[in-house]
Amino acid sequence: MARTSIPDYSQLLWPTAEAVRTLGGSGSIDEIVEAVLQQQHFTDEQQQILHGDGPQTEIEYRLAWARTYLKFMGLLINSRRGVWTLTEQGRAVDKDAIPRLHGEVVARLREEQRARRLAQQAKNVASGDGQQIDEEQDWRDLLLDVLMSIAPDAFERLSQRLLREAGFISATVTGRTGDGGIDGLGIYRMSLVSFPVFFQCKRYRGSVGASAVRDFRGAMAGRGDKGLLITTGTFTAEAKAEATRDGAPPVDLIDGRRLCDLLKEYDLGVRTETRTVEDVTVETEFFADL
């Protein structure tokens, strides 16, 4: 499907504001993206279109610009933890006011950005080809690029170590072919009980669809009812719905953004230095030694 089949960021301004309203006035990036996908009924094909070479999808990219412009328009604010919240003006604004406010912001930016580089950047933004400026995105992009470059078995070992750091009392990589897509088995202990959790690791640029969730669940049939699907990409809205479908064993999903946050949380190849602002460094040598 052609890129032109996806609305421009300016057409996503109101859907983004509306999505935050449905979430109660605030939401994480993942919650906002999922709400827009559901409300706008984007197809699997649209959700799988990458921006450039990925790993970010084109929809995610344009929604990042939509959030940024809503912030410029005084309708959204965001915290350091990536939670976006409607301002008082954002809670009261109606759909008809969005084009006017957007036009005012564009005019102001063009007036303020007199240097050639900044003026060219503003022109690129207007055409939808600007650089990503969503806060805290750059280090995640670098980390995902590193994860895509390591060997498949190294990625499985990284997932294994992440599970151990997260509280699994054991985590084993099967390393066997013909195992139905199951890459490993972990034992998670909760208070006095423990249970097996099968996991699958998918290094993937783009969106993982519902069929991958169904296939993974099928491989677990008769062996266990707890599954964890880890990917460097994203999950389509249909995949998320399939993972929690009534009457079927639930499958927990960890997408690329959540994976990056977990690696940062457990200090696995990601070092955080706090000065006046948080400085995040991806330690590429960590992944080379897996």
Examine the pLDDT at 224 and tell me if it is beyond 50. yes
| pLDDT in the model for residue 119 | 47
Condensed to tens digits (0 to 9), the pLDDT of residues 228-263 reads 999 999 999 899 999 999 988 889 999 999 999 999
Q: Report d(CA 148, CA 145) in Å as an integer.
A: 5
Contact 24, 32 (CB under 8 A): no
Mean residue pLDDT across the chain: 82
| Residue 38 in tokens | 């559901």
Examine the pLDDT at 278 and tell me if it is beyond 60. yes
Task: Show me where the domains of the chain are located.
Answer: 3-133, 141-288
Condensed to tens digits (0 to 9), the pLDDT of residues 257-271 reads 999 999 999 888 888
For the chain, the residue count is 290
Examine the pLDDT at 89 and tell me if it is beyond 90. yes
| Residue 251 in tokens | 């499958």
Q: At what angle do helices 13-22 and 98-112 cross, to 10 degrees?
A: 120
DSSP strand pairing (234-235 vs 207-208)? parallel
Condensed to tens digits (0 to 9), the pLDDT of residues 13-36 reads 999 999 999 999 998 888 899 999
Q: Is-above-0.75 flag for pTM?
A: no
| DSSP-derived 3-state class of residue 224 | coil
Q: Report d(CA 274, CA 180) in Å as an integer.
A: 43
Condensed to tens digits (0 to 9), the pLDDT of residues 119-156 reads 455 455 555 544 444 545 578 888 888 898 888 888 88
Contact 175, 205 (CB under 8 A): no
Q: Report d(CA 195, CA 227) in Å as an integer.
A: 11
| Residue 59 in tokens | 């929809």
Hey, which of 83-92, 148-157, 179-188 has the most confident mean pLDDT? 83-92
> Which of 31-45, 120-134, 271-285 is predicted with the least confidence, judged by mean pLDDT?
120-134
Over residues 166-179, mean pLDDT: 71
Name the fold adopted by 141-288. Answer: Trna Endonuclease; Chain: A, domain 1 (3.40.1350)
Distance of CA 228 to CAs 181, 203, 240, 252, Å? 12, 14, 12, 5
Contact 223, 247 (CB under 8 A): no
| pLDDT in the model for residue 107 | 81
| pLDDT in the model for residue 115 | 43
E strand or H helix at 124, and its extent? helix 116-127
Identity of the amino acid at 109: L
E strand or H helix at 206, and its extent? none
**Angle in degrees, CA 171, 175, 178, rounded to 5:** 125
